[in-house]
């Protein structure tokens, strides 16, 4: 029986713990607050994050990294991206062996704009990790925890390690695909949150399904444009971590990013919205990161740019939509894209 240490007792860490527990793993989950540890261990619930869900008894919470990590063959990181580097520094002090590290966070580090796998590679010495694998795709915790059919993708530069993680998670409710394009999977998962904020904002303004379909389609184009420039495989964005996650996040009532955008579209100030959410909304910081990366790399990302102006410079959302609609004429198929495709096929 495998032991998995789960770092992060929020919605996603808990939902993935249920999948692992269903698969017969021993799951040790790290929670910072003693009341949450007690709730998970005695009531078998995590009410704040997954109301009405009963947790399997083989999920045990601990308030210390040492206890969680002891003997774990796998470590799953399910934290808000902004908390990961600090958490890794604490965790690594207590790590005395060499597990496979899996992360499932969807964002870029604030200020450095690094991917999560890059942070892990910097903070966890090679002697303390067997490899790094990312798990991503269209998967709201609320549905995964109810064992509703879900598909995800796991990616690692070495296919064997992705397959090992596929074996760990796959079951009748949770179907896992593999990919070796870790960069593309991380970029797709992080940047779809920007477009979900935009889709929420459009709905909050009262625009219709046409507007949302436009945002999703052109949003995917700009995600792929940046991703391919950074070195991703273009077809990754046609997969679960690309269009798949974009669909679920832009259209689901569960999405925190969509809900945040919706409230802003309805005229609520960003700070007030974030405070009232009580859970992480990754897309806000990721908008800033993607805007900066796009500027540095001279990649055109019109939706991201307008959203940046709305979130951080007080631009009116209606004006942002007008400016997007009034852009210069362009061809749908970019010749640059064809060049990139030709590089691969």
Ligand X SMILES: NC(=O)C1=CN([C@@H]2O[C@H](COP(=O)(O)OP(=O)(O)OC[C@H]3O[C@@H](n4cnc5c(N)ncnc54)[C@H](O)[C@@H]3O)[C@@H](O)[C@H]2O)C=CC1
Ligand Y SMILES: O=C(CO)COP(=O)(O)O
Catalytic residues, by residue number, are 192
The distance of closest approach from Cβ of residue 248 to ligand Y in the complex, given in angstroms and rounded to an integer, is 5
Interacting span for ligand Y (CB under 6 A) from 64-72, 135-143, 210-218, 305-313? 135-143
Verify binding: residue 140, ligand X, rule CB under 6 A. Answer: yes
> Are 12 and 78 spatial neighbours (Cβ–Cβ below 8 Å)?
yes
Nearer to ligand Y, 106 or 129 (CB): 106
CA distances from 226 to 108, 167, 295 (A): 14, 31, 11
> Are 112 and 143 spatial neighbours (Cβ–Cβ below 8 Å)?
no
Nearer to ligand Y, 253 or 329 (CB): 253
- Pairing verdict, β 174-179 and 26-30: unpaired
Instruction: Tell me: is residue 8 an annotated ligand-binding position.
Output: yes
Nearer to ligand Y, 28 or 78 (CB): 78
Verify binding: residue 256, ligand Y, rule CB under 6 A. Answer: yes
Using CB under 6 A as the criterion, what x/- string covers residues 87-116 for binding ligand Y?
A: -------------------x----------
> Are 296 and 210 spatial neighbours (Cβ–Cβ below 8 Å)?
no
> Are 199 and 212 spatial neighbours (Cβ–Cβ below 8 Å)?
yes
Cα 179 from chain centroid (whole Å): 16
Beta strands in the chain (DSSP E): 3-7, 26-30, 59-62, 74-77, 100-103, 131-136, 150-155, 174-179
Question: Which residues sit at the interface with ligand X, rule CB under 6 A?
Answer: 8-13, 32, 49, 78-81, 83, 86-87, 104-107, 139-141, 279-280, 282
Give the annotated binding-site residues for NADPH.
Answer: 11-12, 32-33, 49, 106, 141, 256, 280, 282
Question: Which residues sit at the interface with ligand Y, rule CB under 6 A?
Answer: 106, 138-140, 193, 196, 245, 248-249, 254-257, 282
């Amino acid at each position: 029986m495998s032991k998995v240490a789960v770092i992060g007792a929020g919605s996603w860490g808990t939902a993935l713990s249920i999948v692992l527990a269903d698969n017969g793993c021993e799951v040790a989950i790290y929670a910072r607050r003693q009341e949450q540890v007690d709730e998970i261990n005695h009531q078998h619930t995590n009410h704040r994050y997954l109301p009405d869900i009963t947790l399997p008894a083989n999920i045990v919470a601990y308030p210390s990294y040492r206890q969680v990590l002891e003997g774990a063959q796998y470590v799953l990181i399910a934290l808000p991206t902004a908390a990961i580097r600090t958490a890794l520094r604490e965790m690594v002090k207590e790590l005395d062996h060499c597990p496979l590290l899996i992360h499932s966070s969807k964002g870029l580090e604030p200020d450095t704009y690094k991917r999560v796998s890059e942070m892990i590679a910097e903070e966890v010495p090679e002697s303390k990790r067997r490899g790094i694998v990312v798990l991503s795709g269209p998967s709201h915790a609320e549905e995964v925890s109810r064992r509703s059919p879900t598909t995800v993708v796991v990616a690692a530069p070495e296919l064997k390690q992705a397959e090992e993680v596929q074996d760990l998670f796959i079951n009748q409710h949770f179907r896992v695909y593999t990919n070796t394009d870790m960069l593309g999977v991380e970029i797709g998962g992080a940047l779809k949150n920007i477009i979900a904020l935009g889709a929420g904002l459009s709905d909050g303004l009262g625009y219709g399904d046409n507007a949302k379909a436009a945002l999703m389609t052109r949003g995917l184009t700009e995600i792929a444009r940046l991703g391919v420039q950074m070195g991703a495989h273009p077809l990754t964005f046609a997969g679960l971590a690309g269009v798949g996650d974009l669909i679920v996040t832009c259209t689901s009532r569960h999405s925190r990013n969509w809900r945040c955008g919706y409230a802003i579209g309805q005229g609520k100030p960003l700070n007030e919205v974030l405070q009232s959410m009580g859970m992480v909304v990754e897309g806000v910081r990721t908008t800033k990161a993607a805007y900066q990366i796009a500027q540095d790399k001279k990649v055109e990302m019109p939706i991201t740019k307008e959203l940046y102006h709305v979130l951080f410079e007080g631009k009116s959302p209606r004006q942002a939509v007008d400016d997007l609609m009034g852009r210069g004429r362009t061809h749908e198929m970019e010749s640059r894209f064809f060049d990139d495709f030709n590089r691969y096929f």
